[in-house]
Amino acid sequence: MGADTDERRPLWAPWRIEYIEKARGPQACIFCEPAASRSDRERLILHRGQTAFALLNRYPYAPGHLMVAPYAHTARLDELDGETQAELMALVARGARILEATYHCDGLNVGANLGAAAGAGFADHVHFHLVPRWRGDVNFMTSVGEIRVIPTHIERTLDELLPAFAEEAKR
């Protein structure tokens, strides 16, 4: 491109409009939304336990970005009973193991944003994020353009992780 041309080019992400439009109005808790209204596949649920479940993040930071949440709608970890706390953490560990085995990532970000001031998008329902990371995965798109580039479709990610969670549940 020459110096007298506009070097900016659009990066089309038409799927983002769903997120933008939802953010405008009142939001139901994505962790409490009735399962009867949509299938687990449509809700991107990877595993259902007794007191907690794992699902893909519909707006991921990286391929494989998943979340683990209790069924109980609470903002505080200390309001969960011991059984739920134990299953929640076991499912976080299982998710980490599955992501490492499936994606051969170099590391993981694992964390919970407790409260809106901490960055929680759904502050009223405690949940953990697991984000696979690779050396050099943050490029100019993220650091300068404030854009995430996800190189795979979320349904492909679901298809890659569902069998791993099913196999892991047999153990």
The domain spans of the chain are: 43-170
- The pTM score is 0.75
Q: Is 62 left (phi over 0), alpha (psi -120 to 50) or beta?
A: beta
Domain 43-170 -> CATH class: alpha beta
Q: Which residues contact 102 (CB under 8 A, 6 or more apart)?
A: 64, 160, 161, 164
User: What pLDDT does 39 receive?
Assistant: 87
pLDDT, residue 12, reads 62
Query: How confident is the model at residue 152, as a pLDDT?
Result: 76
Candidates 47, 127, 129, 153; catalytic one: 127
Q: Is 73 a catalytic residue?
A: no
Spell out the per-residue pLDDT of the chain, length 171, in tens: 445 555 655 656 666 666 566 656 566 788 887 544 578 998 999 999 999 999 999 888 888 999 999 999 999 999 999 999 999 999 999 999 999 999 999 999 999 988 888 777 788 899 999 999 988 776 544 544 555 666 678 888 899 999 999 988 777
Reading the block at residue 122, the tokens are 């759904």
Residue 54: per-residue pLDDT: 95
Q: Which two tokens stand for residue 68?
A: 């683990």
